[in-house]
Structure 1
Amino acid sequence: MTLPQWVTLFAARTPTLPPATGTNLFLVSDGGEGLVIDAGYSDPEALRPLTDAVRERHLHVTGILLTHHHPDHAAGAGYLAELWDCPVHVHPADAAAVEQYVPEHRLRPDLAEGTTRQVGDVRLVALETPGHTPGHLCFWEPTAKVLFTGDAVLGAGTTWIGPPDGHLRTYLNTLRKLLTYPAEIAGPAHGPLVQDPAGQIRYYLSHRQEREEQIMSLIDKHPRRIAELLSAIYERQIPPAARWVAERTLLGHLVKLEEEGRVTRAVDTGTPVPLHQVTWTDEELRRWTDQTVFSAVP
């Protein structure tokens, strides 16, 4: 299945995480108007195919819809908003992080569950899908059953979920929520179009469950640090540049397991900060990854 004629995908080069090499931007247009989902990085040359298409089609862009605040999605929003004289819409929970990219008079933190934006006869519905970030959004087009998934569901690989932005239990609930939409095709922010959205989502859920079982099987044998878990689970599968992503992913699982009362932790010096009081500063992240031992609850 292909995308409907009212949407065009532009794969913009961005400094993102492998295996992706760029970010998919979607131009939704009808009746001479356009909406753009995500804005890529602040590189006018990488955004040129999109901006050329808007100019050549004589479109009036009425807004930019951000799935979330990460720079490979939001950093180009200020440039595009000024070019097209339009607002940038985002969920309030991610708005503060977008302020560094978008002038105040352009930023609209007004997207929430059920918010609609329309161009011509095409209506997009915002879905609150937190977990990757607190204010992550997907966009649903109910007539053609197209789901724009941002980083919630990718076309290749799995998305990383971990502190400081991510929360695994919330993300798993998001995946279950997305399964209730009868999507026939999904437009992810990275990778190719997803031809079987429900199948991909079910795979994501099973993959997270398998990873959790791996972690618990190792911790059940004896207490472990994240470095030990990383070595045992990933071995040499990840390049050094992506090591921090794997660490944060494992950390996301360990936070979930502690929330569920299945894991406890001890630090090399002092007393661990209670989970509900943790603020994910760089220092606290280093404490969890370098100075913390995780044990299974009997």
Structure 2
Amino acid sequence: MIEDAPYGRLEALEPGIARLLAHNPSAFTFTGTQSFIVGTDRVAVIDPGPDEPAHVDALVAAVDERELVAIVCTHTHRDHSPAARPLAQRTGAPIIGCAPLALETVGPRADAAFDGAYAPDRVLSDGESIDIGGSPLTAVATPGHTSNHLCFAWGDALFTGDHVMGWSTTVVIPPDGDMADYMASLDKLRARDDRIYYPAHGPAVTNPAQYVRHLMGHRMQRERQILRLVGDEPQGIPEIVAGAYPGLDPRLRGAAGASVLAHLLDLQRRGLADVEEDRWTATR
């Protein structure tokens, strides 16, 4: 996959799968959100992306004369689902996929905020499918990044949204983001036999099983690091971030702090850490 393909240009990836790159690059979206068009005569759009007129125009042009049977969303962050509404209005296609979810968080978010206007015509549960030209597109529930996150399997390809990204680890932001759920969802993917992952950000993952094991190992290593830091003396999250992420890009401190908090809350539930007046300590 070409990471810097021109914005708005339909790029064929393999038979029946193409992508459009939205013009919303950032420290959290990499080169932008990748919208995928799946199918041949009858197609679905997966993660239509931000409500940017040029991107919506490009999606309509990419569908062309084919029947758009579904507009599919993995989750409801604003870099993924808002274009579903104008695309549905212009094509008449139903919005299908994750459940509605919009939360207000205290302070600025490190990633995209929720799409409060998302209103699906149909919500898919784990294992439910829709027919795309005779081939099922099947929901795989993967909570963790958000509680409503779904991946979608089409043949031996898996569209992973933000659960697994090809360029960075996934942000897990409490209270909705949950580290235990995220790890369980990774383990669920590890047990599958997908050939390739197509994330919403970054290049395709061509070694899925190995990559998922790497992601799980990275998170377990981070957990051990956090436990060591709070085992020496009580620490606040900014101190833990400074110790765990030396040389971190200042733009990513909020995301790192959220990830640390997600780990700490999971450790607290397991009886391995506790907090008093915003100072965390290891309990054993």
Q: TM-score, normalised by structure 1?
A: 0.83
- Which one of the candidate residues 70, 73, 97 is aligned to 1:90? 97
1:100 aligned onto 2:111: no
Output one character per residue of 1:79-133: Cα deviation in whole Å (capped at 9) or x when no partner.
11111111111333x355777334x5xx224211111111213211111111111
Query: How far 1:184 moved relative to its partner?
Result: 0.9
Q: Aligned partners of 1:231, 1:172: CA distance in 2, in Å?
A: 24
Q: Aligned partners of 2:252, 2:57: CA distance in 1, in Å?
A: 29
1:257 aligned onto 2:282: no
Name stretches of at least 5 consecutive residues in structure 2 with no aligned partner. Answer: 2-11, 104-113
1:38-53 map, 5 Å: 38-53=47-62
1:147/1:70 CA distance change after superposition, 3 Å: same
Letter in 2 for 1:174: S
1:124-273 map, 5 Å: 124-142=137-155, 145-238=156-249, 240-267=250-277
Q: Aligned partners of 1:175, 1:99: CA distance in 2, in Å?
A: 25
- Which one of the candidate residues 120, 124, 127 is aligned to 2:133? 120
1:22-101 map, 5 Å: 22-30=32-40, 32-55=41-64, 58-92=65-99, 94-95=100-101, 100-101=116-117
Letter in 2 for 1:76: A
Q: TM-score, normalised by structure 2?
A: 0.87
Stretches of 4+ aligned residues off by more than 4 angstroms = 95-99
Query: Given that residues 56 and 86 in structure 2 are in contact (C-alpha distance below 8 angstroms), is that contact kept between their aligned partners in structure 1?
Result: no
Which shifted more, 43-52 or 61-70?
Answer: 43-52
Letter in 2 for 1:236: G
2:5 corresponds to: none
Query: How far 1:15 moved relative to its partner?
Result: 5.4
Q: Aligned partners of 2:144, 2:69: CA distance in 1, in Å?
A: 28
What SS is found at the alignment partner of 2:194? coil
Query: How far 1:54 moved relative to its partner?
Result: 1.1
Identity of aligned residues (%): 34
Output one character per residue of 1:118-157: Cα deviation in whole Å (capped at 9) or x when no partner.
1213211111111111110011123xx1111111111111
Q: Aligned partners of 1:212, 1:83: CA distance in 2, in Å?
A: 47
1:295 corresponds to: 281
Name stretches of at least 5 consecutive residues in structure 1 with no aligned partner. Answer: 268-291
Letter in 1 for 2:147: P
Output one character per residue of 1:161-182: Cα deviation in whole Å (capped at 9) or x when no partner.
1213210001100001011211
Q: Aligned partners of 1:12, 1:52: CA distance in 2, in Å?
A: 14
Q: Which has the higher helix share?
A: 1
Q: CA RMSD in A?
A: 1.9
Q: Aligned partners of 1:18, 1:74: CA distance in 2, in Å?
A: 16
